[in-house]
Structure 1
Amino acid sequence: MQIEELRWFSVLCETRHVGRAAEELGLSQPGLSRALARLEQELGAPLFDRRGRVLELNRYGAAFLTHVRRVLGEVEAGRRAVADLASPESGTVAMGFLHTVGTWLVPRLLISFRSQYPGVRFQLIQGGSAAITAALEAGDVDLVITSPKPPGAAGPAAKLAWRPLRRERLYLTVPVGHRFAERRRVRLAEAAAETFVANKPGTGLRESSEELWREAGISPKVAFEGDDVATLRGMVAVGLGVAVLPRARTYDGGVDQSGDPWLRYIPLAGTGGSRVLGLVWREDRWASPAVTAFRESVLALGRA
């Protein structure tokens, strides 16, 4: 049973005549008659009573028509939904991003894009690098902003595309009154005896922290592992430990605002002390016009 056959049946119910239905559908009368016969054979009951050339819907046909109209309505609604999602003017973009960029980078990107495409909707999720990359690979989101570069974006046969957007500086973050609080710069090796707080393993910021620890030749004690950076900042503020974190930032009125009266962000000496934020998408997945437009907007802002 095909959708086309259900549409033909619906038109037959309206016209009550094979000739008129065939003309409206652009089919031959014999072809439409054979299609009706196949449908009735498949259902195991006649759908019309024939009165000369006129078709009268019987109780079997009436019962079937109720469900046919529901099916055709759902198919049409599905077509409209897909067309709406794929529209460059009113489509939907699904994006995942790190917690740390949700207060400044993502708002900047959305404000810039929506000034040109106000009708495009967004479905946004926050999470660690592993979680949002898994959502991308599963097809749950179209794009992710993450760091570091995902393993699936490396090599000639990579299915994930990666484009760097900007480099974000990392700092040794300490509470006010800490012995390093007034330092202009600190070598991470000097903090070897400090207790640290950090993101849970499997997150991008934890990977960046561990890389810096290895470069500094330290294996610090980790007192607390959290899911988000805001919690880590709170733990640092109350003196539970120090951390390697980006500076707290918000985006307000077109200006990046930063600062936290309870914390001090000390630049790291003798190391790169930064991570690269990048945009990732699946090379093997079709991108709607709305997704493509937003991706190009993000990359253009990244180049700027």
Structure 2
Amino acid sequence: MDLTTVRWFLMVAELGHVTNAAAELRVSQPGLSRAIARLEEELGIRLFDREGRGVRLSVYGRIFAEHARRLVAEQEAARRALAQAADPERGEVVLAFLHTQGVWLVPELLRGFRQRHPQVTVRLIQDRAVWLEEAVREGRADVAISSPQPETAELAWAPLITERLQLAVPADHRLAGRRRVRMAELAGEPFVGIKQGGGLRTILDELAARAGFRPEIAFEGEELQTVRGLVAAGLGVALVSPQPPANEPNEPQGQAGVRHLAIADPGATRTIGLTWVEARTRPPVVEGFRRFVLSRVGELSRGAAN
């Protein structure tokens, strides 16, 4: 059953006359009659009853017509969706990103992109790095902003910014008056850590191992705002990403009870990058978003350094 014949069937049903339907469709009357006959043979039912010089739907034809209209409507909806997806100024981008990038990086990117492409919808997914990679690989997300660089060859990755990580301590902590600290000085301290699978947790474990100790994790969280809140309550210290640029509105920067110290150890950084599947066909709207993000690398790096 092809949809062209289904459309022809619906035209005959609407006009009640094969000759008039053929004229409307600009096909020959015998050709239209043969197409309807083939459709009836395929379905094994009679779709029309003769009525004078015209035709009317049979009891079976009325049932089939309901489904035929839905078939045609679905095809038209699919065509519209494809046309929209092929339009770089419309359609949808699914962006996955780390919880820690929701404070300033992702909002900054989205603000700039929406100014240029106001008709594009951006759907957001937040999760840990391992799940972001899986979402991109499986096609549930178009691109992801994550760290570290994926090890899977299937995934392409381009660096966006490199962050200098900090240590968050309670305001009354013994180190609160310091500007810099070495990881070895934190042996025995209770840590508020990101859950296992998070990039910051992996870096914390690596930095501590190089300093000769294993961090004592007192509490685990998924979002830095929660982690900083637990630090402010005096429940431990935490390895955190830097505070957003001073010209960005942000709650953590003004959070009472927390002091941020530089970490002197080499490797106390992480690079945030953009991940996508290079071999997968990207709709123009997705490719436009990918190119926009990559074009902002220099500006983002300057912002992260401030």
CA distance in 1, matches of 2:250, 2:220: 32
Name the residue aligned to 1:298.
293
Name the residue aligned to 1:48.
48
Size of the aligned set, in residue pairs, is: 299
Given that residues 7 and 72 in structure 2 are in contact (C-alpha distance below 8 angstroms), is that contact kept between their aligned partners in structure 1? yes
- Tell me which amino acid in the other structure corresponds to 1:9: F
1:224 aligned residue (208, 213, 219)? 219
Instruction: Indicate whether 1:198 and 2:199 are aligned.
Output: no
CA distance in 2, matches of 1:37, 1:136: 48
CA distance in 2, matches of 1:121, 1:182: 46
What's the secondary structure of 2:60's corresponding residue? helix
Q: CA deviation at 1:217?
A: 2.5
Q: CA deviation at 1:5?
A: 2.4
Name the residue aligned to 2:143.
143
Which string of whole-angstrom CA distances, capped at 9 and with x for unpartnered residues, describes residues 192-217 of structure 1? Answer: 12111211111122122222222323
Which string of whole-angstrom CA distances, capped at 9 and with x for unpartnered residues, describes residues 75-120 of structure 1? Answer: 2123223333442112211101111111101111111111111111
CA distance in 1, matches of 2:123, 2:267: 34
> What are the within-5 Å matches in structure 2 for residues 46-195 of structure 1?
46-50=46-50, 54-152=54-152, 158-195=153-190
Given that residues 191 and 215 in structure 2 are in contact (C-alpha distance below 8 angstroms), is that contact kept between their aligned partners in structure 1? yes
CA distance in 2, matches of 1:179, 1:253: 30
CA distance in 1, matches of 2:154, 2:72: 37
CA distance in 1, matches of 2:180, 2:93: 41
TM-score (norm 1): 0.89
Q: CA deviation at 1:124?
A: 0.8
CA distance in 2, matches of 1:110, 1:196: 33
Name the residue aligned to 1:155.
none
> What are the within-5 Å matches in structure 2 for residues 248-259 of structure 1?
248-249=243-244, 258-259=253-254
Q: CA deviation at 1:253?
A: 6.2
CA distance in 2, matches of 1:257, 1:263: 9
Distance 1:131 1:254, change over 3 A: same
CA distance in 2, matches of 1:253, 1:270: 28
CA distance in 2, matches of 1:108, 1:257: 17
- Tell me which amino acid in the other structure corresponds to 2:128: G
CA distance in 2, matches of 1:265, 1:133: 30
Which string of whole-angstrom CA distances, capped at 9 and with x for unpartnered residues, describes residues 151-188 of structure 1? Answer: 22xxxxx2211000000111121111111111121110
CA distance in 1, matches of 2:57, 2:240: 72
- Answer with 4-13 or 233-242: which moved more: 4-13
Given that residues 148 and 277 in structure 1 are in contact (C-alpha distance below 8 angstroms), is that contact kept between their aligned partners in structure 2? yes
Which string of whole-angstrom CA distances, capped at 9 and with x for unpartnered residues, describes residues 110-148 of structure 1? Answer: 111111111111111211112222221221111110011
What's the secondary structure of 1:5's corresponding residue? helix
Q: Which runs of 5+ in 2 are unaligned?
A: 300-306
Distance 1:13 1:192, change over 3 A: same
